[in-house]
């Protein structure tokens, strides 16, 4: 009988050791044991800057740090952390783990990775208990709310001409301001 080799599954600690040793030639993230390339480009970069610049900052910090989630080390494009939050654990000596209640919003800007962001990453962030997750594309913002063990119970689409709620701040943002640009 021929044995099929198993794909290698990375642990967060093993991934960090490999990253610190310079094993990866490009920007990558760890998602459910797999190393995924991080997509970059002009539209992506300008969209991330627009979003980070427009998110309300009262009693929160907006960051692009790695967000340890379960056994994954995803790099959301940005996310919002409550200002008074304290880490609940660490991964290695550089990364903090945060309580789901302290992560107010997770944002992925999605061009080439929309299917992964709406699928695998939505399940990952929902399972972690993060209350709100946005996938921002060139045409629509998908807002995921009501996290469950399988992802999110609710997904709402917001388009140009509409406003998207920013629940942690009790405000809304014009979708046009987040989508339009380069």
Cα end-to-end distance, the chain, whole Å = 55
Which residue carries 């790099």 as its tokens? 75
Dihedral sign of CA atoms 10, 12, 13, 16 in order: positive
Domain ranges of the chain: 40-179
Say what the pLDDT of residue 99 is: 97
What is the pTM assigned to this prediction?
A: 0.91
Structure token pair of residue 120: 């695998």
Number of Cβ within 10 Å of residue 131's Cβ equals 19
Q: Are 97 and 90 in contact (CB under 8 A)?
A: yes
Beta-sheet pairing, 103-109 with 132-136: parallel
* CATH number of this structure's domain 40-179, picked from the four choices 3.40.50.720, 1.20.140.10, 3.40.50.300, 3.90.1570.10: 3.90.1570.10
Sequence-ordered list of residues with C-beta below 8 angstroms from that of 54, at least 6 positions apart, any chain: 173, 177, 178
Distance CA 70, CA 125 (A): 9
pLDDT by 10-residue block (mean), the chain, 182 residues = 68 90 90 88 92 96 95 95 96 92 97 93 98 96 97 97 97 91 48
For residue 72, give the DSSP letter: B
Sequence-ordered list of residues with C-beta below 8 angstroms from that of 5, at least 6 positions apart, any chain: none
Say what the pLDDT of residue 40 is: 80
């Amino acid at each position: 009988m021929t044995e099929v080799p198993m794909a290698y599954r990375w642990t967060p600690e093993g991934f960090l050791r490999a990253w610190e040793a310079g094993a990866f030639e490009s920007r990558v993230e760890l998602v459910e044991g797999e190393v995924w390339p991080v997509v970059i480009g002009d539209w992506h970069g300008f969209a991330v800057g627009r979003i980070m610049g427009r998110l309300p900052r009262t009693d929160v910090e907006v960051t692009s740090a790695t967000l340890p989630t379960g056994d994954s080390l995803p790099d959301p494009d940005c996310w919002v952390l409550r200002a008074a939050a304290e880490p609940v654990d660490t991964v290695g000596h550089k990364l903090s783990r945060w309580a789901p209640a302290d992560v107010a919003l997770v944002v992925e800007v999605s061009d080439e990775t929309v299917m992964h962001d709406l699928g695998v990453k939505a399940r990952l962030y929902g399972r972690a208990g993060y209350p709100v997750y946005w996938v921002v594309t060139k045409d629509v913002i998908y807002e995921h709310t009501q996290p469950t063990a399988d992802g999110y119970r609710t997904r709402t689409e917001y388009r140009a001409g509409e406003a998207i709620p920013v629940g942690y701040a009790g405000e809304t943002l014009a979708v046009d301001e987040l989508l339009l640009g380069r």
